[in-house]
Amino acid sequence: MQPSVTKPAQPGLKTSRVRQKNIQIILQAAEDEFVTSGFKGASIRDIANRAGLPKANVHYYFNSKLDLYSAVLKHIMELWEAVFSGLSPDDEPAKALRTYISAKMQYCQAHSNASRIFSSEIIHGGHYLKEHFHYFTDWINEKSSVINAWVEQGKMDPVDPLHLLFTIWATTQYYIDFRPQVASVLGKTELEDSDIEAATESLSRLIIKGCGIKET
């Protein structure tokens, strides 16, 4: 019997993996730098230092700081949209909303820098987000149609899908973006996982009950 031979990875595949790895490293370093220094204060040199890469490597993937900032915002929105994917009118709204609220809270906690960058950009007018709003609007319309289907099926009270989504985004993001304030009010120096879990449960109950959904 001939011994099995493992074929070496194709050069193109290896190059693609290296490219994706470098881009992820740069995007993470850029998030850290933008949240610390803001867009104006951040520099490609500082981002490269955070990434542990030569400045030329960063410029190889991104032509300018603006291109990199736009890529960070695009990445943030892609992650955000993925949190509530696969929603169907056949789903039970209580379970679906609980899952979404929990996932959104976990997302904000795991990507706290991304959450703060997004909030800061919106506060400053969202000029660099406008090119991504078209795709985000499609996402919102898709989710709104599912919520409207739940209403038509009598699974929940008539609610405005947009204001429901706004409420979920605002409440979940508050716990992360204003984390020091929340911790201080709770008499703590830092929020613990149990605090996030308690907040998630409280928000889920309030939102689900407010939509007239009965949990079984």
Four-residue CA torsion sign, 139, 155, 91, 150: negative
Q: Which of 9-13, 125-129, 202-206 has the highest mean pLDDT?
A: 202-206
State the average pLDDT for the chain.
85
The residue ranges of every structural domain in the chain are 11-62, 74-210
- Residue 88 corresponds to which amino acid? S
- pLDDT for res 86: 74
Per-residue pLDDT tens over the stretch 144-186: 999 999 999 999 999 999 999 999 989 998 898 888 999 999 9
Displacement of CA 201 from its chain's centroid (Å): 20
Q: Regarding the domain with residue range 74-210, which homologous superfamily does it belong to in the CATH classification?
A: Tetracycline Repressor, domain 2 (1.10.357.10)
Q: How far is CA 56 from CA 19, 39, 72, 128, 182, in A?
A: 14, 20, 19, 24, 42
The residues, any chain, with a CB within 8 Å of residue 68's CB and separated by 6 or more, are 26, 27, 30, 44, 47, 58, 62
Give me the phi and psi of 193, to 5 degrees please.
-60, -35
Report whether 74 contacts 62 (CB < 8 A).
no
- 11-62: CATH topology is Arc Repressor Mutant, subunit A (1.10.10)
- pLDDT for res 7: 46
Average pLDDT (7-24) is 70
